[in-house]
């Protein structure tokens, strides 16, 4: 084998290992990006209750939230007047997940 052949084969081997390392780094970066996007979706979808007993008149959810439910207690003291509202961020689910406000 000539010296030139050895050099070419060495360069090919070096490029192959660099290429697989770059592919691995790209794949890791893609996974991290997907996880970050999912975490952001989860954080945006966080819900909160508005309205404080005993006089629960919370008003409306913020403009970037949707009304996901309502309750007299919501895990706390009972409302004497009004009702507590559950406001959630993120995209509205395809189906209603809360209680009917007319009850």
What is the tens place of the pLDDT at every residue in 72-89? 999 899 999 999 999 998
Tens digits of residue pLDDT in 44-73: 668 999 999 999 988 999 998 899 999 999
User: Within this chain, do residues 63 and 77 fall inside the same structural domain, yes or no?
Assistant: yes
Residue ranges making up the domain that contains 38: 1-44
Q: Is residue 78 part of a domain?
A: yes
Residues in the chain: 103
pLDDT value, residue 62? 92
User: Within this chain, do residues 40 and 65 fall inside the same structural domain, yes or no?
Assistant: no
- Contact present, 58 and 92 (Cβ < 8 Å): no
C-alpha closest to that of 91 among 45, 49, 46, 48: 45
Q: Is residue 1 part of a domain?
A: yes
Q: Is residue 102 part of a domain?
A: no
């Amino acid at each position: 084998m000539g010296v030139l052949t050895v050099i070419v084969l060495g360069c090919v081997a070096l490029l192959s290992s660099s290429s697989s390392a770059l592919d691995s780094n790209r794949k890791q970066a893609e996974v991290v990006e997907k996880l970050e996007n999912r975490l952001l979706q989860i954080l945006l979808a966080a819900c909160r209750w508005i309205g404080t007993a005993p006089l629960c008149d919370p008003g409306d959810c913020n403009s970037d939230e949707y009304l996901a439910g309502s309750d007299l207690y919501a895990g706390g003291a009972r409302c004497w007047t009004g009702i507590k509202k559950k406001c959630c961020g993120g995209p509205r689910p395809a189906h209603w997940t809360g209680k009917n406000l007319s009850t």
